[in-house]
Amino acid sequence: MATETPGQETQETLSNLLSETRRFEPPADLASAANVTADAYEEAAQDRLAFWERAAERLTWAERWDTTLEWKPPFSKWFVGGKLNVAYNCVDRHVEAGRGDKVAYHWEGEPEGDTRTITYADLQREVAKAANALEELGVRKGDRVAVYMPMIPELPIALLACARIGAIHSVVFGGFSASALKSRIDDADAKLVITADGGYRRGAPSALKPTVDEAVADCPGIEHVLVVRRTGQDVAVNERDVWWHDLVDRQPAEHEPVPHDAEDPLYILYTSGTTGKPKGILHTTGGYLTQVAWTHHAVFDLKPETDVYWCTADIGWVTGHSYIVYGPLANGATSVIYEGTPDTPHRGRFWEVVQKYQVTILYTAPTAIRTFMKWGDDIPAKYDMSSLRVLGSVGEPINPEAYVWYREHIGANRCPVVDTWWQTETGGIMISPLPGVTAAKPGAAMRPLPGVVADVVDDQGESVPNGGGGFLVVREPWPAMLRTIWGDDQRYIDTYWSRFEGMYFPGDGAKRDEDGDLWLLGRVDDVMLVSGHNISTTEVESALVSHPKVAEAAVVGATDPVTGQAIVSFVILRGGAEESEDIAAELRAHVAKTLGPIAKPRQILVVPELPKTRSGKIMRRLLRDVAENRSLGDVTTLTDSSVMNLIAEKLPSAK
Ligand code: WT7
């Protein structure tokens, strides 16, 4: 989610307050058998394109490419002339290699005991049937298909069926409203919606179909709505509606996968960003699959024969597209998919799932980790999680204390934690430790992966030296990069390629420490300017979370007559910590000691919850409204808008 115009407060370089000295060496057994060693950095540095060619060779191509990269800045084409079928790579080729009985997905519904096991042979049959069904509905190569579904096996099946026939899917997260769904259907000019009656959420069926009915009421381009029966709840059946079980189940179980061009579109995924209408991020076929498959193999050290991999994201976000569907399946992995929330029917559900399926690799988000910290250490301690060997984090900067908690309470101080930086736009992981190579620092994404050329630059676009801070940029094209914004090349150029000449600007601040390792500092518009110093919200939040009583913190800069901006903090206490009279003073002193007096918050408010987007990111903009005593801006992307009332009650001066 890059911004249209970076905030002017980031004109100077970011100050560099945090000092972190802890290091975690890779476990020796993991390092000695790692899929990727330190040589990969060297090889990619010597010949970057040859490196990505070797990564592409891990896939099965119907026709080999003739040009690896065609770069007409800022438009790239990868593996030009090559042809492949993504669904064939993710499914059929594993069956043909004799691995049809291998489990592709252990699916765990939210209601306990509601499970399905899907092997690669099952997946091949189901994808073939779904592809035949789409063709019967008149869906052709290049057509757009909107997908609005709960986390059920038909969701990855629907995506693979689209990929198989070359239709472009556009997944809209199941928590979005009818108007959000409609605007995305309209922007992509979709002709089919795939949905379900509902899904399970927090112990009860939650309807989806009525939202689709409302969204498509005024979408004449939608020819059909294909509906999976998941919950069995009552739904209106309209003229355009077709039941999945009526149509898909009777289809032939074979479908010939035609090869598609490496640059044929694979999907559109909308990202809301901070301003303006959502951007339809366009990803294509060959380069995308190459990078997601290679990074999944490298960053998680995936051993398809023995690992059980679980990414807890929703497939509605890019994390789910790249690291539940395309990357893991291309690698022939066995994955877990969980339908519901982590607290249903109890707060140990995630750990119960890890224990049940003997999960070896877990990939989740800082927001979830901080929630588990808040719930208390005793909950994960009840489960046997000795199967785990690699832990991953994505979505926001991970506070060092949350990282250390994750390592200790989930990973038994044994599993490396990989903090992976990337975006919807990058398609795949860009900056991350390698679990068998990197001596990781808690809270740092460390180094660009082999084949990725990222840098930290100052306002003029000059590289900052070690110890400096500024803007993250990517200097060279990468295979899974977005190709454009759907239907709006100019906006693609303006948003990502105009801030710095010839460089991709993701919209994040970063610093490079004395060793040259990278620390991501969140969106540049979240940076504060206090008495002439640029201070990142991430660093103050991490300082607060390093206090034993704090589980989660959000920091904003509020206008202040004396200092320009003053730091206002909202904190959630850890399970068991008492809210005492002098907690604010104690925390202010702690921040002053950790980061220096300049970073001491003017105000600290203990709150029960923080406002988050549906993908789990803290919405600092709303907290700034509260801190500056304004009425609240747009709250439509909030998961739960009542949270803001709870917070406003805590602030006596707030409206
Ligand atoms: C933004 C992208 C990547 C999939 C999920 C989010 C932030 C993401 C990290 C990380 C610090 C991170 C950035 C980025 N972000 N991962 N490891 N450390 N920040 O995809 O919704 O497109 O969001 O999330 O600010 O720009 P997205």
Distance 396 CA to ligand 1 centre (A): 5
SS3 38: coil
Ligand 1, atom 17: closest residue by C-alpha:
421
Nearest Cα residue to atom 25 of ligand 1: 522
Q: ipTM score of the complex? A: 0.99
Atom 18, ligand 1: residue with shortest CA distance: 397
Please list, in sequence order, all residues whose beta carbon lies within 8 angstroms of the beta carbon of residue 22, skipping any fewer than 6 positions away: 400, 404, 441, 442
Contact 445, 398 (CB under 8 A): no
Tokens for 649?
């009650």
pLDDT for 64: 98
Structure token digits, residue 629: 């005593």
Q: How far is the CA of 394 from the centre of ligand 1 (A)?
A: 6
Residue 409 assigned ligand-binding role: no
Q: What is the 3-state secondary structure (H, E, C) of 531-580?
A: CCEEECHHHHHHHHHCCCCEEEEEEEEEEECCCEEEEEEEEEECCCCCCC
Residue 629 confidence (pLDDT): 82
What pLDDT score was predicted for residue 339? 97
Sheet bearing 469-474, strands edge to edge: 454-457, 469-474, 508-512, 518-523
For atom 8 of ligand 1, which residue has the closest CA?
A: 395
Peptide bond just before 74 cis, omega within 30 deg: yes
- Residue to mutate (ligand 1; options 173, 403, 471, 520; most atoms within 8 A of CB): 520
Nearest residue (CA) to ligand 1, atom 27: 423
Q: How many A from CA of 428 to the centre of ligand 1?
A: 11
Atom of ligand 1 nearest to the CA of 393: 17
* E strand or H helix at 486: none
480 alpha carbon to ligand 1 midpoint, in Å?
15
Report whether 486 belongs to an annotated binding site.
Answer: no
Contact 289, 163 (CB under 8 A): no
As given in the structure block, the two tokens for residue 559 are 């206008």
Which residues approach ligand 1 with their CB closer than 6 A?
1, 271, 317-319, 394-397, 419-424, 445, 506-508, 520, 522-523, 615
Does residue 160 sit in helix, strand or coil? helix
For residues 553 and 544, is the Cβ–Cβ distance under 8 A?
Answer: yes
User: What ligand 1 atom has the least distance to the C-alpha of 523?
Assistant: 25
What pLDDT was estimated at residue 535?
86
- The amino acid at residue 640 is D
636 is in an annotated binding site: no
Ligand 1, atom 2: closest residue by C-alpha: 423
Q: Which atom of ligand 1 is nearest to the CA of 398?
A: 18
Ordered DSSP codes for 167-200:
-EEEE--TTS-HHHHHHHHHHHT-SEEEEESEEE
State how far the Cα of 365 lies from the Cα of 555, in Å rounded to an integer. Answer: 19
Axis-axis angle for helices 120-136, 154-165 (nearest 10): 60
Q: Is 203 annotated as a binding residue?
A: yes
Q: Which residues on adjacent β-strands are paired with residue 419?
A: 393
CA 506 to ligand 1 center in whole angstroms: 10
Q: Centre a 10 Å sphere on the Cβ of residue 19 and count the other Cβ atoms it contains.
A: 9
For residue 106, what are the β-bridge partners?
117, 336
Residue that the structure tokens 């800022």 belong to: 74
Quickly count: other Cβ atoms within 10 Å of residue 481's Cβ.
25
Q: Is the dihedral of CA 140, 141, 142, 148 positive or negative?
A: positive
Q: Please name the residues in contact with 585: beta carbons below 8 A apart, sequence gap of 6 or more.
A: none
What DSSP letter does each residue of 371-440 carry, written as one string?
HHHHH-THHHHTS--TT--EEEE-SSPPPHHHHHHIIIIITTTTS-EEE-B--TTT-S--B---TTT--B
Q: How many CB atoms lie within 10 A of CB 98?
A: 8
Contact 58, 293 (CB under 8 A): yes
Q: What is the mean pLDDT of each run of 10 residues along the chain (655 residues)?
A: 37 54 95 98 98 98 98 98 99 98 98 97 98 98 98 98 98 92 96 98 95 97 98 96 98 98 98 75 98 98 98 97 99 98 97 98 96 95 98 95 96 98 98 98 97 96 94 98 98 96 96 95 86 85 93 93 90 82 90 87 92 87 87 71 78 47
- Contacts within 8 Å (CB) and 24+ apart, 50-55: 51/450, 51/451, 52/78, 52/290, 52/291, 52/451, 52/479, 55/290, 55/291, 55/293, 55/294, 55/451, 55/479
Q: Say if CB 32 and CB 434 are below 8 A apart.
A: no
What pLDDT, on a 0 to 100 scale, did the predictor assign at position 654? 37
Residue that is written with structure tokens 């090869």 in the block: 259
| Best CA proximity match to 15, nearest among 364, 399, 527, 405 | 527
426 CA from centroid of ligand 1 (Å): 10
Distance from C-alpha of 433 to C-alpha of 450, rounded to nearest angstrom: 11
Q: How far is the CA of 479 from the centre of ligand 1 (A)?
A: 18
Two tokens, residue 151: 């986390």
Residue 423 among known ligand-binding residues: yes
Nearest CA to ligand 1 atom 6: 395
29 is in an annotated binding site: no
Distance of CA 342 to the CA centre of its chain: 17
DSSP string spanning 278-343? PEEEEEESHHHHHHHHHHHHHHS---TTT-EEEE-S-TTSHHHIIIIIIHHHHTT-EEEEE-S-TT
407 vs 454: CA distance, rounded Å? 27
Q: Say how far apart CA 332 and CA 346 lie, in whole Å.
A: 32
Asked if 553 and 374 count as a contact pair (C-beta separation under 8 A), the reply is no
Give the whole-angstrom CA distance, residue 6 versus residue 534. Answer: 14
Phi and psi of 32, rounded to 5°?
-75, -20
- Cα-Cα-Cα-Cα torsion 250, 252, 253, 256, nearest 10 degrees, comes to -140
Residue 164 labeled ligand binder: no
